[in-house]
A and B are shown apart, each in its own frame.
Chain A
Amino acid sequence: MQLKRIIALRVIALLTIMIITVSTAYAYFTIQRHRELTLNLWKTRSAVLAEGFKHLILWDDRVAIRQMMLSEVKGSDTLLYGFLLKGGEPYVYTFEKGVPLPLLQQRPPTDVQPVWEFEDSEDMVVYDLATVIDASGTALRIGLKRSAIDAKMQPLLISFCLIGLLSIGVGSYLAFLIARRTTREVDTLAEAIARYGELADENGPAITATTSEVTELVKSFKQLTARRRGAELALASLNTQLEQRVNERTVQLTAANLELDSFAYSVSHDLRAPLRGVEGFSCALQEDYADRLDETGNDYINRIRKGCVRMGRLIDDLLKLSRITRREINRVPVDLSRMAEQVLLDLKASEPDRNVEVRIDSGVVASADLTLIRSVLENLLGNAWKFTRHTAMPCIHFSSLNNNGDCIYCIRDNGAGFNMAYADKLFLVFQRLHRADEFDGTGIGLASVQRVLLMHGGRIWAEGEEGKGAAFYFTLGDKEP
């Protein structure tokens, strides 16, 4: 429903109630006043009549009295009856069917109230006026029809109703005008919101309001919208810029990846070829000319060849590391317990003489890339295998623990361990915490492991103590393995 209509209807309702109340009250008091005045008039007339009847009562001329009474009754449509009492008894009256009982049952007229209101047998309200003529119970009583008295007021009441109705009509019209005027501001506001709110219609005719509050409101809204639109535009342009930047970066990244790719390729090919030459000819030298070299010479050749082999392994590991980043992670369910078992069997096969106690918790499963997670286990178990070489009773333990739904995998050994002060260097490329003559290695394994785990959304950390052993913990970023 429109606000305009609601306001109009309410004002009209209020106006109508007020007009009806005031009119009714005024009509009521007017009628009361009219009755009072009429009754007073008739009291006077009754007194005049009673004065006239005094002589006729002395002469006992009932016929004359009755004549006068009847003429009075006939001459007025208000007067209902005349009733003269003498010594408290009916004397002369105008009733056609005798004196009605209610009038007779009254107490002596001397006691009678000047005006007595009663209802006759036909539910007609009658005012009975009594005028005492003498104290012996002689009195004149006349009956007046209330309806007849009120009938005189009818035109006045009708005009009252008409004026009331007219007032209501005029009031309604005014109410409608007021409502329209009042809600015009609301309409202005609605228009402003519609126009400034959605569309960039700032060039259209300005919206003007009448009241200062609404003018202020419209102004603020316009400013607010302008600011919002500005912000939206800024955001959109920022988004575009961002997208553009992302695109640029993607192109750069793709280029960088391609470069890295070709770099790795050329490393794999061009770096290894000369190395193979050095190693091969050193070998040839040793094979063909060993007898012409002394012990020192042969030792040098051995060192050259060892260096070549080591460098070859470094190149291979570096290549593996660079290949990891080029791979897509393809998660599948993996039975890590079984995989760890296989890896350790392989290690055992490579060094069958070693006696290492292996404990693998059963049922450790994960969701991970099969190839990559295998390289992780190979590296970590391989490290555990390697660093327990000089331990008297070597032990390797693979387990998992639950940390608030995150599965943490742990590989623990009682080998050489490491100083926790260097823990942050463990996972950096080429960082080694042991001398090469103690434990061989390229310093790339743990860096590869960390890269694999990061690519899975997991992480790795380690705890250790020199001479006591090390524990490597890792997660795979899978909530439900």
Chain B
Amino acid sequence: MTEKSILLVEDNPDDVDLTVRALKLNKLLNKVIVARDGAEALALLFGTETRAPIPAPEVVLLDLNLPRISGLDVLRRIRADERTKLLPVVILTTSDEERDRVESYSLGANSFINKPVEFEKFSSAVKQLGVYWLAINIGPNGAK
């Protein structure tokens, strides 16, 4: 049985650690694959000349403000590709700008979550989204 994994696309190492910590604290012990920018995320998802693509994660937690390739571009590429167009993508961002929200949804984001400053609130949000996407939600490929 393949383990349910999460792809976390996040350039800020602090945010990576905090997200992982929040997942752990909430007993979501799935494998977390981290991509440090948009290009790396795309390389992981679609593979490169030297490496095969990773098995499709259960959910992609995508930050918007990324170096090189922005989160919205990553989302656009995910939705444009036949292999990943049904992949659940949750935007997890600091921004609460209306235009980011609207654009994310119009590009086909499944969810939009604003990262609060307070860790307790953040942790609670991570818990809920983890439980929802990993345990409750049934992905496009069905239950595994």
Contacts and interface: CB of A to CB of B under 8 A. Distances in A.
A276 B122 contact: yes
B103 interface: no
B117 A281 contact: no
A309 interface: yes
Interface in B91-123: 93-97, 115-120, 122
B117 A308 contact: yes
A270 B11 CA distance: 12
A280 B65 contact: no
Contact of B118 (A277, A281, A312): A312
A309 B117 contact: yes
Interface string B1-40: 0000000000010110110010000000000000000000
A273 B119 contact: no
Given A269-B65, A272-B117, A283-B119, A277 B12 contact: yes
A275 B95 contact: no
A240 B25 CA distance: 67
A280 B94 contact: no
A311 B61 CA distance: 26
A270 B95 CA distance: 9
A265 B97 contact: yes
A282 B117 CA distance: 12
Contacts of A275: 117
A279 B96 contact: no
A305 B95 CA distance: 21
B123 to A, nearest CB: 8
A284 interface: yes
Contacts, number: 63
A279 B14 contact: no
A275 B14 CA distance: 10
Contact of A280 (B64, B95, B97, B119): B119
Interface in A309-353: 309, 311-312, 315, 319
Given A268-B94, A284-B21, A273 B12 contact: yes
A444 to B, nearest CB: 16
B120 A283 contact: yes
B94 A312 contact: no
A274 interface: yes
A32 B65 CA distance: 129
A279 B119 contact: yes
B21 A279 contact: no
A268, A273, A275, A283 — most chain B CB neighbours (10 Å): A273
Contact of B119 (A268, A272, A276): A276
Interface of A: 265, 268-270, 272-277, 279-284, 305, 308-309, 311-312, 315, 319
9 contacts: A265-B97, A272-B117, A276-B94, A279-B119, A280-B119, A282-B119, A284-B21, A312-B116, A312-B117
For the complex of A and B, 5 pairs with smallest distance between CB atoms: A312-B117, A277-B14, A283-B119, A280-B18, A280-B119
Interface of B: 12, 14-15, 17-18, 21, 64-65, 93-97, 115-120, 122
